[in-house]
A and B are shown apart, each in its own frame.
Chain A
Amino acid sequence: MDDVSTKGYDRRAFLKVMGLGASAAALAACGGGAGTTAAATTAAATATVAKPTGNIVVYTALNETTNNAFTDAFKVAYPGTTVDLLPLAAAGDLQTRITAEKASPKADIFIGGSSEFHDPLGKAGLLEMYVSPNASSLKPEFKDAAGFWTGWYTGIFGFIANTDRLTKEVGGKLPATWDDLLDPSWKGKLILPDPVKTGGGYIFIATQIFRFNKDEAKAMAFMKTLHGNIADYIGTAPGAIGAVSQGQYVGCPNWAHDILTEKGKNPGVSLAVPANTGFEVGGISIVKGAKNLPLAKAFVDWVLTPEAGALNVKLSNRGSTIASIPAAPGAPTLASVTLVNYDRQWATDNKTRILTLWQQTVGRT
């Protein structure tokens, strides 16, 4: 299929270029109508700016409202394009899917999910290298040194509390530091997304290790004491937010943007961001073997515009990697909170060892 389509493409592009060669280059830009991507791109090389057209398939881990708004806005910015969305709010599933599909890739774009899900795909040779001109102003920590993915949003780890129960049972004080959670008044009232089952739970442990300057013994001592206060470890991060919102438990470390979203529906919860917290960088990448590379690149360029960044901030409560875009109302920013020196590579490389160590520490099988 790859061969077939490439040949088809080339022939079409070839004929188009032949036809265009006779006419003026300006006409070429108008002539390249919908569906003739390759031709339009070829023409663009000679003409001034012609936007790529056609269809792209986007594998997205974003939420539904953001997906829909992005598709609509992109189609306005790039007339004559269509976007096929494959939404799955589970970036690990999308990563696995792209891996399993490598014999005949079906996606052009992989958007959303922490960069940890994009990075291994790049290393496995399953991504197309692309450094967008719009990424030039981003800080180095927000983009892949090898150029396979670009970070375009940030998520900060915070803390959700059920306000009513917090006031009645824990004295009403939200934690200012992670160490505050060791107070005996929290005993049996805390939950944590299971570090073994969720990315968020693991980021929480890694954050503690970085907070103690990679002194694993201190971090584990913290986790052991904290374990005494934790009633349950929950299998999914959204599930843990739901449980606190219902008042099943009083508090839980979790993603700040998701806590804000929950707060929009249930005003009875509070958000805090304890000092020295961790964060994720949400990525976008182009899948190797993309059927419409010019449009895929255009999509990446567009997602990195301030307009798209602001739209995502509004719809998901996450932050943007573009410094000039203000945060959502009530949302923490990377500037407003104190962050640990989060060593992403170290966290990935040591994951199995750390989780085993943690399980031994808290006596879990």
Chain B
Amino acid sequence: MMRSLRREPVLLLALLAAIALVLAFIVYPQIQVVLVPGADGYVKFLNGGTWVGPLVHSVQVTLLSTTTAVVLGFVFAYAMVYTPMRWKPFFRIVGILPLLSPPFVVAAVYILLFGPRGIVSYGVFGQSPSVFGLLGVWGVQTIAFFPFAYQLIADVLSRSDARLEQAARNLGAGPWQVFRSMTLPLSGPGLGAAILTCAIYILEDFGNPQLIGGGFNVLPTQAYSLIEGFGDFTGAAAVSTILLLLALSLYVAKTGLDRGRSFVTVGGKASSMPRPPVPLALTRACFAACLALAGLILLVYGTLIVSALTLYFPTNLNFTLQHFEYLGAHATSLQNSFVYSMIAAIGCSIFALFAGFVVQRGTWPGRKLFDFLLIMPAAIPGIFFGIGYLTAFNQPWSDRLAEFFGQPDLRAQLIVIALLFWNIPIAYQAVTVGLRQIDRSIDEAATSLGASSLRGFRDVLVPMLGGSVQVGFVTTFVRAVTTLSVVIFLFTPRSTTATITIFQLVNDFDWGGAAAFTVGDVGMAVIVVVLIQRLGGRFAVTGFRGG
């Protein structure tokens, strides 16, 4: 692409613009945070040694939860793509639901259900488990992050070539042998991306460990408690830097593993061959596993709905609709959440497509660094993403800019940009994985016929990446609608969001109100996701359609 960059000024300009955006909205704000402690601050903090325990815990949780989340995601994806299992449209929603866990509320439901006197743990099984600590966090993170793995892997599996597997079967290989020597290796890029994204997101996640962790402290909860409990911004920023370094090492490890492998499964010729049939027993097992998972997830959301409809669950079970009055009283915050998340998701999808294209198909210098910068936001705990933006962009010059546009402030715009770039990693990973599967000869065919590489990208590759774009769009939207940490330092009275309202209600001990508002927020997101999947199913050319 070096040559084509010189020949195509538009492509060059677009690339430079993308680099400028990444520098402005990922690198620059984060530098603000990294610089906060200063040399003295870092030395003092590192010598204090309070980070050692949380670091060990973070590594433990990340290793355990990533493993189980990816295994679970793989099983779910395999079941959805390979088996003729029933109820797939239902499971497809179930596979997204755990992403929709606004801070505090869903984790609180886990305690309600599985705590020492939990409705299920004690009420049904008579057990008093200790949910707080490593076990609890491991369990919750597995459920919370398996949708990342499921989506990335399903997208890859759905694009794998059925002819290869059919051929292997024809040559006498059994189903297990085909799976081991074909399906599994060919899902490599999806697995790699799933492991990397899950690991980094789990490493960064603060909400679940904060609520389920109890005395079990991980780095993000340590960072947050330094700010929230003690106003120690310096120490918190130092923790944030440690997290960045951990993410960098994960990234380097993953790149090392990927080196020199090819995963091309989409060649120049169209394939309409069906996949070889999956043994009936396997289909049944997959169905049972998906059903069990769905049951667990629905139990959580069912409890939430019951909480919203009763006076004070679980101690006062009288029916009421009063909690839903909050939806009317705070309609602005719900509306803001919808608008900001929608714009962020669209922007994120477009940006990820282009960035994936220039990195995967280009050979320009600095490509590797750019690649890392696009995964880096996953490693930045949301609050630091927000604080970085606030420090970098709440400046006299931005006030003048707002004045120029005749606005009191530009915070709503800033929130959208923050949500966009905070969610780039997953959208970008999805596109990257898709591109690695598509043979270069396909886009080269377009360019050798005289199309510019941008045109070839737009007309040939983009339609083939429908499924990947959908993964990025849905995940960005859902995470944007349910994030508290990114907006908590950016919102203003005019640009408040649904999660801020939920946070307030939880802190006001208004469990019913918080549950009702969460039901409204999650309900809105589910409707959008279902519509997107309908649309995606109709328009995607080779995208993930669940088999």
A236 to B213, CA, bound (A): 10
Instruction: Contact check, A241 vs B509: say whether CB atoms are below 8 A apart.
Output: yes
Q: Is B174 an interface residue (CB 8 A)?
A: no
6 contacts between A and B (CB under 8 A): A88-B503, A93-B227, A194-B217, A198-B229, A246-B112, A249-B117
Residue of B nearest to A267 (CB): B315
From the candidates B212, B222, B391, B396, name the one contacting A1 in the complex (CB within 8 A).
B396
Q: Is A65 an interface residue (CB 8 A)?
A: yes
Instruction: Contact check, B115 vs A243: say whether CB atoms are below 8 A apart.
Output: yes
Instruction: Contact check, B312 vs A116: say whether CB atoms are below 8 A apart.
Output: no
Query: Chain B, 503-542, contact with A by CB distance < 8 Å: what is the 0/1 string?
Result: 1111111010000000000000000000000000000000
Instruction: Contact check, B230 vs A351: say whether CB atoms are below 8 A apart.
Output: yes
Shortest distance in angstroms between B421's beta carbon and chain A's nearest beta carbon? Answer: 18
Q: Is B459 an interface residue (CB 8 A)?
A: no
From the candidates A57, A199, A238, A261, name the one contacting B230 in the complex (CB within 8 A).
A199
Q: Which residues of A contact B50 (CB under 8 A)?
A: 352, 355-356, 359
Q: Which residues of A contact B325 (CB under 8 A)?
A: none
Instruction: Contact check, B504 vs A196: say whether CB atoms are below 8 A apart.
Output: no
Q: Is B233 an interface residue (CB 8 A)?
A: yes
Q: Which residues of A contact B409 (CB under 8 A)?
A: 106
A98 to B228, CA, bound (A): 13
A83 to B222, CA, bound (A): 35
A235 to B213, CA, bound (A): 7
Q: Is B355 an interface residue (CB 8 A)?
A: no
A222 to B535, CA, bound (A): 63
Q: List 4 tightest A-B contacts by C-beta distance, closest first.
A: A1-B399, A365-B53, A89-B507, A233-B215
Shortest distance in angstroms between B490's beta carbon and chain A's nearest beta carbon? Answer: 9
A65 to B507, CA, bound (A): 12
Shortest distance in angstroms between B69's beta carbon and chain A's nearest beta carbon? Answer: 21
Instruction: Contact check, B312 vs A198: say whether CB atoms are below 8 A apart.
Output: no
User: Known contacts A96-B231, A100-B489; can you find 16 more A-B pairs with CB under 8 A?
Assistant: A2-B399, A63-B508, A64-B505, A88-B504, A92-B229, A93-B228, A99-B233, A101-B394, A103-B391, A104-B399, A117-B231, A198-B229, A235-B214, A247-B117, A248-B116, A265-B312
- Give B487-506 interface residues, CB cut-off 8 Å to A: 488-489, 491-493, 500, 503-506
* Residues of chain B at the chain A interface (Cβ within 8 Å): 48-50, 52-53, 56-57, 104, 108, 111-112, 115-118, 130, 132-133, 209-215, 217, 221-222, 224-225, 227-231, 233, 312, 314-316, 387, 390-391, 394-396, 398-400, 403, 409, 488-489, 491-493, 500, 503-509, 511
Shortest distance in angstroms between B328's beta carbon and chain A's nearest beta carbon? Answer: 15
Q: Which residues of B contact A234 (CB under 8 A)?
A: 132, 214
The CB with the most chain B CB atoms within 10 A, among A93, A96, A103, A247, is that of: A96
Instruction: Contact check, B227 vs A92: say whether CB atoms are below 8 A apart.
Output: yes
Instruction: Contact check, B399 vs A97: say whether CB atoms are below 8 A apart.
Output: no
Q: Which residues of A contact B222 (CB under 8 A)?
A: 196
Instruction: Contact check, A86 vs B493: say whether CB atoms are below 8 A apart.
Output: yes
Q: Which residues of A contact B56 (CB under 8 A)?
A: 365
Q: Is A140 an interface residue (CB 8 A)?
A: no
The CB with the most chain A CB atoms within 10 A, among B53, B213, B314, B315, is that of: B315
A165 to B491, CA, bound (A): 42
Shortest distance in angstroms between B307's beta carbon and chain A's nearest beta carbon? Answer: 11
From the candidates B316, B399, B493, name the one contacting A57 in the complex (CB within 8 A).
B493
Q: Is A84 an interface residue (CB 8 A)?
A: yes
Q: Which residues of A contact B509 (CB under 8 A)?
A: 238, 241-242, 258, 261-262, 265
Query: Chain A, 91-121, contact with B by CB distance < 8 Å: what is the 0/1 string?
Result: 0110111011101101000000000110010
Instruction: Contact check, A92 vs B230: say whether CB atoms are below 8 A apart.
Output: yes
Query: Chain A, 244-260, contact with B by CB distance < 8 Å: what is the 0/1 string?
Result: 01111100000000100
- Give A318-365 interface residues, CB cut-off 8 Å to B: 351-352, 355-356, 359, 364-365
Q: Is A75 an interface residue (CB 8 A)?
A: no
From the candidates A3, A4, A92, A101, name the one contacting B390 in the complex (CB within 8 A).
A101
Q: Which residues of B contact A120 (CB under 8 A)?
A: 231
- Give A251-298 interface residues, CB cut-off 8 Å to B: 258, 261-262, 265-266, 268
Q: Is A27 an interface residue (CB 8 A)?
A: no
Q: Which residues of B contact A26 (CB under 8 A)?
A: none
Instruction: Contact check, A90 vs B507: say whether CB atoms are below 8 A apart.
Output: yes
Instruction: Contact check, A266 vs B400: say whether CB atoms are below 8 A apart.
Output: no
A261 to B504, CA, bound (A): 15
Residue of A nearest to B391 (CB): A100
Residue of A nearest to B315 (CB): A266
Shortest distance in angstroms between B264's beta carbon and chain A's nearest beta carbon? Answer: 46
Q: Which residues of B contact A3 (CB under 8 A)?
A: 396
Q: Is A85 an interface residue (CB 8 A)?
A: yes
Q: Which residues of B contact A11 (CB under 8 A)?
A: none
Instruction: Contact check, B111 vs A248: say whether CB atoms are below 8 A apart.
Output: yes
Instruction: Contact check, A235 vs B210: say whether CB atoms are below 8 A apart.
Output: yes
Instruction: Contact check, A231 vs B130: say whether CB atoms are below 8 A apart.
Output: yes
Instruction: Contact check, B493 vs A238: say whether CB atoms are below 8 A apart.
Output: no
Residue of B nearest to A202 (CB): B229
A337 to B400, CA, bound (A): 53
Report if A65-B508 is in contact (Cβ < 8 Å); known contacts: A96-B387, A266-B316: yes
Q: Is A197 an interface residue (CB 8 A)?
A: yes
A258 to B500, CA, bound (A): 20
Residue of A nearest to B45 (CB): A352
Residue of B nearest to A235 (CB): B210
- Give A176-208 interface residues, CB cut-off 8 Å to B: 194, 196-199, 201-202
Q: Is A232 an interface residue (CB 8 A)?
A: yes
A95 to B233, CA, bound (A): 9
Q: Is A147 an interface residue (CB 8 A)?
A: no
Q: Which residues of A contact B315 (CB under 8 A)?
A: 245-246, 265-266, 268
Shortest distance in angstroms between B228's beta carbon and chain A's nearest beta carbon? Answer: 4
Report if A242-B215 is in contact (Cβ < 8 Å); known contacts: A57-B493, A248-B118: no
Instruction: Contact check, B400 vs A97: say whether CB atoms are below 8 A apart.
Output: no
Instruction: Contact check, B506 vs A238: say whether CB atoms are below 8 A apart.
Output: yes
Q: Is A87 an interface residue (CB 8 A)?
A: yes
Instruction: Contact check, A352 vs B48: say whether CB atoms are below 8 A apart.
Output: yes
Q: Which residues of B contact A238 (CB under 8 A)?
A: 506-507, 509
Q: Which residues of B contact A364 (CB under 8 A)?
A: 53, 215
